[in-house]
Amino acid sequence: MPRLAKVPTPPPAGYLWTPEAARRMGVSVKTLWNYRHLGKGPKPKVRGRKLAYRIDEIDAWLNEQDEAEDAAQEQAANDARPPEPRTTRRPARAAA
């Protein structure tokens, strides 16, 4: 009897399975699992024996990361400003 190829189950509408979510986020599946256990990143929903991530939650999380990166770059640009020149507080010496 020939073996039938296993057809992957499509994710629910508006969701992605873990590998597709990791690809969309630009991280590895291992990183996405680490995010889940650390409480970071978008929250997955259990669908049967798999984890599904909402597409709009992934996009919102990516936008938050972009905004945080932009703010950090802006702060770094402000911190890179040269220091103000020092002024002395000593009174001028009187001519002898």
**Would you list the DSSP string of 59-87?**
HHHHHHHHHHHHHHHHHHHHHTSPPPPP-
Phi, psi of 50 (to 5 degrees): -120, 165
pLDDT of residue 76: 76
The beta-carbon contacts of 86-90 under 8 Å, at least 24 apart in sequence, are none
Please give the domain boundaries of the chain with CATH numbers for all domains. Answer: 15-72 (1.10.10)
pTM value?
0.68
pLDDT of residue 81: 67
Strand order in the sheet with 50-54: 15-17, 50-54, 45-47
Kindly tell me if the per-residue pLDDT of 93 is higher than 80: no
Kindly tell me if the per-residue pLDDT of 78 is higher than 80: no
Over residues 37-71, the pLDDT tens digits come to 999 999 999 988 899 999 999 999 999 999 988 88
Helix (H, G, I), strand (E, B) or coil at 44: coil
Cα–Cα distances in angstroms (integers) from residue 17 to residues 7, 22, 68, 94, in the given order: 15, 9, 26, 81
Kindly tell me if the per-residue pLDDT of 77 is higher than 80: no
